[in-house]
Amino acid sequence: MKKLAKIAAVFCVGVVSIASRTRTVNAETIKKSWGQGSSNTFILGFNNAVGSAVNIYTMKDSDPSIIHHTGNYNGVNYEMLEVTPSETTFVKMDYIGRPDMLDAIYDWGLLSEGYVRAGGINANYYSWITNPNYGQPVGGLRMAGKWTYFHSHQNLPEYGSGFVTAYWDRFGPMKLVYHGQDVATGAGWVGEKVESECALSGSYTYLVDGERKDLTGGYGWYSYHSNDYGFTCLAQKKDGTFLLICFWNGMRDEKVQDFLLEQDAYNAIRLDGGTSTCMVYEDDLVKEAA
């Protein structure tokens, strides 16, 4: 595994000493974050272990089409990995059964096959440190065509309510399916389970088939609609290109949708946020946007 050349992470909770939130990954790692207070403080350090990752893999010695974008939209800093899947480059779910720093969550089996992890973002919501099941994914998490387990519990979309699950294959389009209460009647679990290589549950949707739409009808399990916390988003264009995005502060839904439509996104799901917002990528494999 090559050294992780750049890591981005977000700091989204009150005033906490830098020392208490800092974890050194290695001496050559660059870590950055924007605070949520009045000073927009630059914070050094990875802030949180996360439960799962959406990772990009590419074959060694290939020339993958992965572009790193940085910018500011509606006053909010963002970073985005734009990935064009190919025979040697793809996007998949990773999960190691426990919470860990994002740079530690990847597929060793693929590395032994000659792939390298080029980058990734945090994925599912998960039970927090005060919960005895700390690290358990909330909703569904599917890898290599199989639902994963947290100890003896299978990570299925039915767990909980109010979830949208994104399903995709290595070379196929992403499909968004609601797995929560019936929006009209409030009845229990609705939705179908889709056979796919990868799946993860998020809270709600921004775009469905190119239209502004939240499949949950406002019943998303956990919403950052009205606060200033950073958040992560997984989107896909109609041509199959993936967008892995970290916004380093809060933004109203309609502005997020504006941004995504400007990027030609076709489907987009909201993932975990707050102090879990993070991105990692290899700068020798990822090109910087012009």
Distance in angstroms (rounded) separating the CA atoms of residues 204 and 117: 27
Q: Which residue has the higher pLDDT, 187 or 72?
A: 72
pLDDT category of residue 143 using cuts at 50, 70 and 90: very high
- pTM, 2 dp: 0.85
CA angle 183, 232, 97 (to 5 degrees): 90
Alpha carbon distances (Å) from 113 to 1, 60, 120, 189: 12, 10, 19, 39
* Higher-scoring residue by pLDDT: 143, 102: 143
Residue 258 class from Cβ within 10 Å (0-12 exposed, 13-18 middle, 19+ buried)? middle
pLDDT above 70: percentage of residues in the chain: 77
d(CA 246, CA 7): 12
Residue 39: pLDDT over 70: no
Give per-residue pLDDT as tens, 144-174. 999 999 999 999 887 555 689 999 998 889 9
Q: Report the helix count and the strand count for the chain, using DSSP H and E.
A: 3, 21
Instruction: Say if residue 47's pLDDT is above 90.
Output: no
Does residue 98 have a pLDDT over 70? yes
Average pLDDT value over all residues in the chain: 80
